[in-house]
Amino acid sequence: QIMNPSTSSTKPSRSYPRGVALDFRKLAGMALLGYIDHHNVTVRPDAPPSELAVAVARHFESMEVDEEEAIQGFLTMLSANENGTVAIPPPYDGLTPTASKRRRTRSKMAARPGEQVAAKVTRTDENGSWILASVQSFYGDTETYDVQDEDDTSKLIRLPWNHVMRLSTGTEGFEKGADVMAIFPETTSFYRAIVSKKPVWELASGSATPIVKELVLKFEDDEGSNGRTPHRRVPSRYVIPVPSVYFDEDEDDIDLTSPVSPNA
């Protein structure tokens, strides 16, 4: 539930609850909004991902769970699997997000025209298949983007929603050892890497939200002649989650039609 700022004077809490072991700050904004829509959690319309994570964590902390019922359900599922039978899921309760609700959530999180994004321009998952691009249009009815390669603005590329990722804000909370994708220095392509040093959090001028300005990474297949992989500094904006973490839904690619270049 998006809160109307003109009708509420309550300031959102920025303190992550200590009693919640799960770190919702690691989730992508799309996943957080899905939780918020599902449970009608109240948030500000311009809330950053870090604030969404706190709101989700506080709601999660307040939920009451019937431990005996949960354990019994788990044991029933295990017993069914051991006996070779299929565990029948509980009846649909009307609360599970529908396809249309998931589409609305994705539209809320869609990148806007002129925004830089990471775009997957090949059908394979090879290293370097994601590039830096700029959004020209987003079509909500088909959930497709028209983007332009930052290195070649002569043509438009039409992509499905799950081939476009918004860039980072510095509040994502990547930890040392995290698997990420990042722009390799002096290129515009994203390559797989790991966070090799603990991030340094700073307070931006005029803001109460801490951010990470840059991350130290080790890229895959970047060994030197000595066999060692160097540490490389990359602005946090150009460090993004791996797709399997960013997208919380698996769907096949949709049919694409070739857009007309504005220069044609």
For 243, the token pair is 């797709």
pLDDT in tens, 228-259: 999 999 999 999 998 877 775 444 444 444 45
Q: Which tops the pLDDT comparison, 1 or 195?
A: 195
Reduce the secondary structure of 94-107 to three states and give it as a string: CCCCCHHHHHHHHH
Tell me the C-alpha distance between 80 and 82, whole Å.
6
Tell me the C-alpha distance between 133 and 153, whole Å.
9
Residue among 118, 1, 116 at smallest CA distance from 52: 1
Give the residues across from 21 on adjacent strands.
none
SS3 content of the chain, % helix, strand, coil (to 5): 25, 25, 50
pLDDT in tens, 251-262: 444 444 445 555
Tell me the C-alpha distance between 193 and 220, whole Å.
6
Most confident stretch, 56-60, 167-171, 214-218? 214-218
Number of Cβ within 10 Å of residue 165's Cβ equals 23
What rounded mean pLDDT belongs to the chain? 79
- Where residue 125 falls among pLDDT bands split at 50, 70, 90? confident
Residues with Cβ within 8 Å of residue 147, at least 6 apart in sequence = 117, 119, 133, 134, 135, 136, 156, 157, 159, 164
Residue among 232, 224, 90, 108 at smallest CA distance from 166: 108
Decide: residue 169, CB within 10 A, 0-12 exposed, 13-18 middle, 19+ buried.
middle
pLDDT in tens, 211-224: 899 999 999 999 99
The pLDDT of residue 85: 57
Residue 81: pLDDT over 80: no
Length reported for the chain:
264
Give the residues across from 166 on adjacent strands.
117
pTM of the shown model: 0.60
- Where residue 84 falls among pLDDT bands split at 50, 70, 90? low
In sequence order, which ranges of the chain are alpha helices (DSSP H)?
29-39, 49-62, 67-82, 99-108, 243-246
Tell me the C-alpha distance between 261 and 264, whole Å.
5
Hey, what's the torsion of the CAs at 158, 162, 167, 173, to 10 degrees? 180
Angle, vertex CA 177, rays to CA 32 and CA 183, nearest 5 = 75
What amino acid occupies position 215? L
